[in-house]
Structure formats: C-alpha cells, structure tokens
A and B are shown apart, each in its own frame.
Chain A
C-alpha cells in the first residue's frame, strides 16, 4: 500500500488576473512538477508569497489550475483535478483528500462536535462512527468538552484551528493537505497535531503541507520542495 504515488503534479502553472485593477496579471508559479507517495510527508517551502497555499488550494480544487495536470489517485484511478468536473472533485474530496486550511470556514450556528462529525459523514462514516471519531479527535486535540456543543464562531484562533484540523483528519483520506496546521497553537497542542499527522503518515497516508514552524517541519517532513525555484518572476512595476 505504501510507496505508491498518491499525488502527482505535472508542469503546473498558475497566475491571477485582477480585472478590477486594470487586468494586472500576478504570476504565481510555472513548471511545477512533483510526486507525493503514500506514507511520506512532503513540505512545501520557500519564502512567503511563493504560492505554497495556492498549491494546496489547487490540489483541493479550490483554486483553478491554469496549466498542467494535478493527478490524485482515487481507488485505483487517477483523476486530474485541473480538468475534472465539479461533481468529480466533490467525490474526490469525500473519498480521497482532506484539507486543513489556514482558517476555519464553516456553516454558522452549528456546534463544533457536529461540524467535525458532519465532515466524517461526508466522507462515508455512518452516524455513530462519525460521532465517536469526532469525540476522539477533539479529545486528542485538547479542545475542552464544554466547547463541543458551541458553534466555533466565538472560539479563540487556536480553538478554531483545532476544530479545523479535526475536520480535515476525520475522513481518513489517503491524501492529506495541511496548510500551517499549527500556526496558532501552543506547544502542547502543536505536539498533539504532530502526533496525529505522523500517525496518519505512518499508516500510509500521503501528506503535503506548509509548515512555517521549523520544529514541526523537522518532526513531520521527509523532504521539502522549494517553491522559490518555480516562482514566476513578478514584474514588480506591473503590480
């Protein structure tokens, strides 16, 4: 099971065109190719602004991919996110990839535990299993039980981030995308996240992440890809 490629980027390029700013084109990346295998954790590196989060978002289908292919393995079949239909991407998100974004963005007025369990049900767990797994994850992430029934809108940044992590991890997807998962966490919770991510990697999950924290990167990443090499030269005068 392990060592099979789970994600392959081939000659990926991305730029943003800001039509409301006179059509300014912001190049982000070009010619980016790499593979992530099951059971390994790859860190995206490079100075800020080199498109690390954009790569994660493109893999998840949240940003458009302008050039190249982004292939994700889904039960023995390769699916190119860059050209797949929305329906296919939704199925991929359910079965094949989990995403922990930098900021929690969820349906309002729903309690934390329900939000996490709903993500589990989306990925195919039945009601009881989703509920049990959500409790287990929130427990391991040290989210105080008194918060579980409350909507996270009023939570601290660190508490929201842990709800977000639980949502991303509950599905047991073969590909996990982590965008600064420990940015607003204290040492104890950072360790909890490292533990969970390692466990997933060691059980054969392919992990692709952005980790600014050197300690987290050293603890998780098997290798690093420096996006600086693929960054398009930004014509500063145009911006």
Chain B
C-alpha cells in the first residue's frame, strides 16, 4: 500500500458573496479511509463535497488526486473531459436527495448501467448483466430492473444510487447525508450495506452527516465543521469520547441516547 494519499486537500476556500462557504480546509485521505464531516446545516459540509467533486470552483486552495498510474494531479489543471472521465470512473457521488443523483424517468437498469456506457461499454447484454448483478448486491430485486425509480421507496432509491455509482468500481466516494429522510429501520439497512461495501471494496469515503451515530459506525476519522471552518479533527472515537472544542462538546452532549 502506498503512502501517498489518494486525495490531498490544501487550504480549500470558497465564499458566496460575503458569506463563507468553506474556509481554509485541509486534509489527506488514503485508500480505504472513511472520513466523516459533521456539523449543523449551513456549516459548509456540502460546499466542501462539491468543491472536492469540482462542481464548484474554489476561491483559493487546491485538491490533488493520485491517479491510477500513481501520478498526482491538481484537479483544477485537468481539462473538462478528463474531469468528467474521473467523475464517471474513479469517483462516486451519493446525493442526499436521490432525485438529484438518479435519472428518475430512466429504468433502474439504465441508471445502474449508465456509467458503463459512458466509459465505452457497448454490449447491451453485458451492461444489463452487470446492472442486474449490482441491483442484487444493493438488495434490489433484479426483477424490477425495467421499472423507473419513480416507483421505488426512499431506501431503494438510495440503494440504486449506490449501485449506479459503484458499478465502475470507483476508488473515492463522496456521500452527502445518504441516510437522512429515511425511516430508522431503512436507515439501519442502508448503513449495514454501506459498511459491508466499504470493507469489501476498500473504498475511500468522505461522508457528510449531521448524525454522530452514523459517523461512529462508518468512519475512521472525523472533521467537525462550523461556519465553513474545521474546528476539530481526529480519530472518530477520540473526537466523540473526548471532544475538545466547545462546539464539539455541545454537539456530542446534544445527542439523545435511545
């Protein structure tokens, strides 16, 4: 295993007019590491994800990524086609709202297989076979391959998003509150699925969540954000069991134990 981080973020900063979206955020992420970004709404978590995904352009700072050939590239220097290829092959992005991450009028199989087509796979039977295989892996009955996600429940839609993203075996997956808005039992099942896939595939993940239990369950490291700034970072169990910053102490003490 290499010691060069997969993702290396330095001084990432972005302002919306006078409002700070993200201020001077830096971190490294290695293969197979899961980093949870926690904080209240408006703390800059989603802005950070979108900056990482190159969907927003930073005012300052840079994101470097270790390509499959081992070369480290500043993502801002890649042309649009190269960025698009990365986004379709090497990365996944699971959105909070599945309707943003899926094509709602396209069949489940089409959703799952789209990235394969985008990277040049043309054989219909193979694409359908791979899509069906991934539907099974995310616990969606492959018999529903021709239905559109319109007819799917919230939990199924999130699982379809996961299949759609993981089909190209990405190395880095960004997740934006993947379990919010789901019933707790559905949430638990989705988390178990994600945890299993993370171990099995050795994915590096940046997961944004406001749920500290989700962070404890899935992540190795945690970053606490407030008003665009990282105010505390460290091992997940350390941050949760011995929080240092006043705001982190407030977050941890505010959790209702069931």
Interface residues of A (CB under 8 A from B): 16-20, 57, 61-64, 86-87, 89-90, 107-109
Contacts and interface: CB of A to CB of B under 8 A. Distances in A.
Interface stretch (B63-71, B116-124, B232-240): B232-240
Given A62-B242, A109-B188, A86 B253 contact: no
A90 B235 contact: yes
Nearest to A122: B199
Interface residues of B, number: 20
B81 interface: no
A131 B249 CA distance: 39
Nearest to B188: A109
Given A109-B188, A109-B192, 20 more contacts: A16-B242, A19-B246, A19-B250, A20-B246, A20-B250, A20-B253, A57-B241, A61-B235, A61-B238, A62-B238, A62-B241, A62-B242, A63-B242, A64-B238, A86-B220, A86-B234, A86-B235, A107-B195, A107-B217, A108-B217
A109 B189 CA distance: 10
A19 B192 CA distance: 35
Contacts of B220: 86-87, 90
Q: Which 3 pairs from chain A and chain B are nearest by CB?
A: A19-B246, A86-B235, A63-B242
B249 A63 contact: no
Contacts of B244: 17, 64
B30 interface: yes
Q: Which interface residue of B30, B221, B235, B245 has the most chain A CB atoms within 10 A?
A: B235
A87 B30 contact: yes
A205 to B, nearest CB: 23
B7 to A, nearest CB: 13
Interface string B215-258: 00100110000000000001101100110111001100100000
Contact of A18 (B192, B195, B249): B249
B188 A62 contact: no
Nearest to B192: A109
A62 B246 contact: no
B238 A63 contact: yes
B177 interface: no
Nearest to B247: A19
B235 A63 contact: no
Contacts of B242: 16, 57, 62-64
Most chain A CB within 10 A, of B195, B220, B238, B241, is at: B238
Contacts of B250: 19-20
Contacts of B30: 87
